Amino acid sequence: MKKEILKLRGVKVHFPVQAGVFNRVVGHVLAVDGVDLDIFRGEVLGLAGESGCGKTTLGKAILRLVEPTDGEVKYISKDDNETELTSLEKKDMDPFRKKLQIVFQDPHSSLNPSFTIFGSLQDPLKKFGIKSKEERRKIIGDLLEAVNMRREYMDRYPHEFSGGQRQRIGIVRALCLEPELIVCDEAVSALDVSIQAQVLKLLMQLKKEKNLTYLFITHDLSVTEYLCDRIAVMYLGRIVELCDSEDLYNNTLHPYSEALISAIPVADLDKQTKRIVLEGDVPSPVNPPKGCPFHPRCPKATDICKTEVPTLKKYSTNGNEHYASCHLIDLPEIS
């Protein structure tokens, strides 16, 4: 039986847009606009979508690095205790900060240039009760070895490391309090392809060893198929399709996912499908289009798409649950 670790219900993150001399609020960026999502223990959930669709913001909202404007983030512990995170006081959040961690995208800004690796990693350990310095050094040293680096590296400064090494140090940081869920925010996008593969393998290896759950954010659907158990596709702050990763590629339901998948370069010539080119840019999340947010760019759009907002409905493909939000799906909806 699959058990949830996180349940998101109606999560919204709206950033105020200020203008003028008095910084009046003239509108809101609807970065995340009503996301319902369950993440199961031990799975790798991919979160895909174009740049600016709110993936990072959603990841940060889970950790409360940005405060959600609305909605609930529930954490379910191993013994089935449910806690709503967004309404917690700052200090009550601490036990959950241990469980939820994040690996960032940019290896150049992810480490503090003024501190050695040990220097910048030791404060979190101290805060969470590891009082002796020897113990802290041991934990960090062991983790460095777990990501195939040498213990001694903990006394070096970030500028002495390459991008791939820095990213592995970022992984060490995320692992140092033995978390249960790690948000990998485009953790490999900034690296060379060969190094990407190594870091990805390392992540998967660590997942197995430490029973981790990943929320794997990416804008590149070509890597997700092999890594992720399920994939959620986001567009303008909403989830438009959510299903097992195989089904996303073989039984695509949403036109936006189709377009993303067709953009993946294929090596096999016979398999080459027609590429669907999306016209125009992602609309501004300040004024999302009426009706289906995707309709100005959707090749299949009809009149109903311009007026009515499609909701995320449950279907079944291949015997698996498959969620999608589009008016033109002719599968029976299941409840």
Ligand X SMILES: Nc1ncnc2c1ncn2[C@@H]1O[C@H](COP(=O)(O)OP(=O)(O)OP(=O)(O)O)[C@@H](O)[C@H]1O
Contacts with ligand SF4, residue ranges (CB under 6 A): 254-255, 292, 294-295, 298, 300-301, 305, 310, 326-328
Buried b (16+ CB within 10 A) or exposed e, 219-234: bebebbeebbbbbbbb
Buried b (16+ CB within 10 A) or exposed e, 104-138: bbebeebbeeeebbbebbbebbeeeebeeeeebbe
Find the shortest distance in angstroms from Cβ 322 to ligand SF4.
Answer: 15
* Residue 184 to residues 42, 220, 286, 294, Cα–Cα distance (Å): 14, 13, 26, 26
Find the shortest distance in angstroms from Cβ 129 to another protein.
Answer: 12
Point out which residues bind another protein (CB under 8 A): 60, 63, 65, 90-91, 93-94, 97, 100-102, 104-106, 109-115, 120, 123-124, 127-128, 148-150, 156-157, 159-160, 165, 170, 173, 177, 198, 201-202, 205
Q: Which does 57 bind (CB under 5 to 8 A by kind): ligand X, ligand SF4, Mg ion, none?
A: ligand X
Look at residues 187, 239, 201, 211 and name the one whose alpha carbon lies nearest to residue 47. Answer: 239
Q: Which does 298 bind (CB under 5 to 8 A by kind): another protein, Mg ion, ligand SF4, none?
A: ligand SF4
Binding characters for ligand X, 17-56, by CB under 6 A (x = yes) = ------------x-x-----------------x-xxxxxx
Find the shortest distance in angstroms from Cβ 263 to ligand X.
Answer: 15
Nearer to Mg ion, 56 or 317 (CB): 56
Backbone torsion region of residue 55, taken as left when φ is above 0, otherwise alpha when ψ lies between -120 and 50, otherwise beta:
alpha
> Considering only residues 164, 285, 291, 293, which one is a binding residue for ligand X as defined by CB under 6 A?
285
Question: 327 burial class (0-12, 13-18, 19+ CB within 10 angstroms)?
Answer: middle
- Contact call for residues 225 and 289 (beta carbons, < 8 A): no
CB atoms inside a 10 Å sphere around CB 250: 11
Find the shortest distance in angstroms from Cβ 55 to ligand X.
Answer: 4
Token readout for 225 is 């198929």
Q: Which does 327 bind (CB under 5 to 8 A by kind): another protein, ligand SF4, Mg ion, none?
A: ligand SF4
Q: Which residues bind ligand X (CB under 6 A)?
A: 15, 29, 31, 49, 51-57, 219, 285
